[in-house]
Amino acid sequence: MTRIALVGIGKIALDQHVPAISASPDWELAATVSRQGRVDGVEGFTRIEDMLEARPDIGVVSLCLPPVPRFDVAQAALRAGRHVMLEKPPGATLAEVHALRDLARAQGVTLFATWHSREAHAVAAARRWLGDRRIESGRITWREDVRKWHPGQEWIFAAGGMGVFDPGINALSILTHILPEPVHLTGAELDFPANRDAPIAARLEMTQGITADFDFRQEGPQTWDMEFRTDRGHLALRMGGNLLEIDGQPAGGADTIMGEYPALYAQMARLLGENASDVDLSPMVLVADAFTLGRRVTVEPFAF
Ligand code: NAP
C-alpha cells in the first residue's frame, strides 16, 4: 500500500476521495492537511510544510483545494520530492500548471492533473464510436443549480474560482477526450452577476460546429448532456458522460458517478509504477480562451 496525504478536506474530499482511497488495496490515507477539515482516525495537519517535514514516509499528496490556493501547496509538495495529484481544474492559470509540470519533471516525480468526468461510464465507448467518424455539429448543455452542488462556496464566484466553468470544464474534459480531431474556441458570451468576479452562465462556440450552454441557475431537473451529429449517425452522452445513446437508443453506461474517483486513484497507481506524468491542459485552454475572447454581459446579483 502506498501512503497518501489529502489536502483540502471539503466537499469533494469527503464525498469522493476518502471513500475511493479507503476502498482501494493500493492506498492508505496516512494524513490530511486542512485548516478545519478532518478525517476520523487519520493524523491531521493544518499546514503543508508541517506535514511534509513530519511525514517523510508519505510519498504522494492529493490536492482537493479550490484552484487559487492550490499552486503554492503543489509546489511545496513537488519541491519536497513528493508525487502530486491535482483535482480539476488543475490550477487557476495555465502558466502555473506549466510551472508545476516542469518542476515535476525536474524532480523526477509524477504529476497527475485529473479529470474525473473522463472516467464516467460511457466516455470510453463514446470515444471509440466517434473515433472513425466526422463531426458535423455538437451541442453541450451543462445546467445545474449552484446552490445545490456548491452550497456556500464563495470561492467559486471569486476571481480565479471560474464560476460556471467549474462544472463546465467537466464537459470540456470529456469533449477534448472523445473528439477525433482537436477543437478550439471561436466565440463566447459570459454572464457575470453584478456583484461577482466569475461568470454564472456562459455560451461557447467552437470549431467543428460545436456549441456549449453552461448555466449555474438551473432549478428542478439538472442537465449534463452532450449531443453530436456525425457523418454516420447521432451520439448522445447524458448524465455527465455516464449514459450513452446512439441514434436515439440507449447504448450502455450506468447512471452513477461512483466509479470515477476509484478509476483516478487506479490511474495514479499506474503512473507511479511507470514513473510517468499525465498533464493534459486542453480543457483548460478552452476555458482560458473563453475568458480571453468572451463578450461580458452583466446580469442580476447573486447570493447563495
Ligand atoms: P470545498 O468544499 O470548498 O472544499 C475545499 C477545501 O479546501 C475547504 O474545505 C478548505 O478546507 C480548503 N481550502 C484551503 N484554502 C481555501 C480557500 N482559499 N478557499 C476555500 N477553501 C480552501 O470545495 P470542493 O467542492 O471540495 O472543491 C474543491 C475542488 O474540487 C475544486 O477544484 C472543485 O472544482 C473540485 N471538485 C468539486 C466537486 C464537487 O462536487 N463539489 C466535484 C469534483 C471536483 P480548510 O478550510 O479546512 O482548509
Span 153-173, pLDDT tens digits: 999 999 999 999 999 999 999
Identify the domain boundary among 113, 132, 161. Answer: 113
If asked whether residues 168 and 90 sit together in one domain, one would say no
If asked whether residues 182 and 140 sit together in one domain, one would say yes
Cβ–ligand 1 contact at 163 (below 6 Å): no
Please give the distance, rounded to the nearest whole angstrom, from the Cα atom of residue 299 to the centre of ligand 1.
Answer: 26
Contact (CB, 8 A) for 223 and 142: yes
If asked whether residues 95 and 200 sit together in one domain, one would say no
- Give the C-alpha separation, 126 to 227, whole Å: 11
| Residue tagged 447512471 (cell numbers) | 255
Decide if 76 is inside a domain.
yes
- Give the C-alpha separation, 19 to 111, whole Å: 22
If asked whether residues 171 and 53 sit together in one domain, one would say no
If asked whether residues 48 and 138 sit together in one domain, one would say no
Cβ–ligand 1 contact at 8 (below 6 Å): yes
If asked whether residues 88 and 195 sit together in one domain, one would say no
Report the predicted TM-score, pTM, of the whole model to 2 decimal places. Answer: 0.98
Position 303 confidence tier, pLDDT thresholds 50, 70, 90: very high
* Mutation choice for ligand 1 from 61, 64, 156, CB with most ligand atoms inside 8 A: 64
Over the stretch 58-68, which tens digit does the pLDDT of each residue have?
999 999 999 99
State the CATH number of the domain containing residue 8.
Answer: 3.40.50.720
Over the stretch 235-249, which tens digit does the pLDDT of each residue have?
999 999 999 999 999
| Residue tagged 492529493 (cell numbers) | 62
C-alpha distances in angstroms, 278 versus 104, 109, 270, 275?
Answer: 11, 11, 11, 10
Contact (CB, 8 A) for 211 and 203: yes
Identify the domain boundary among 74, 90, 113. Answer: 113
Measured CA angle at 285 (ends 301, 217), to 5 deg: 25
Of 97, 76, 104, nearest to 5 (Cα)?
Answer: 76
Residue 138's domain comprises 117-256+288-299
Q: How many domains does the chain have?
A: 2
If asked whether residues 38 and 186 sit together in one domain, one would say no
If asked whether residues 102 and 59 sit together in one domain, one would say yes
Cβ–ligand 1 contact at 283 (below 6 Å): no
Contact (CB, 8 A) for 118 and 173: yes
Decide if 226 is inside a domain.
yes
Secondary structure string (H, E, C) spanning 183-231:
CCEEEEEEEEECCCCCCCEEEEEEHHHEEEEEECECCCCCEEEEEEEEC
* Mutation choice for ligand 1 from 63, 65, 88, CB with most ligand atoms inside 8 A: 65
If asked whether residues 90 and 143 sit together in one domain, one would say no
pLDDT at 257: 67
If asked whether residues 230 and 147 sit together in one domain, one would say yes
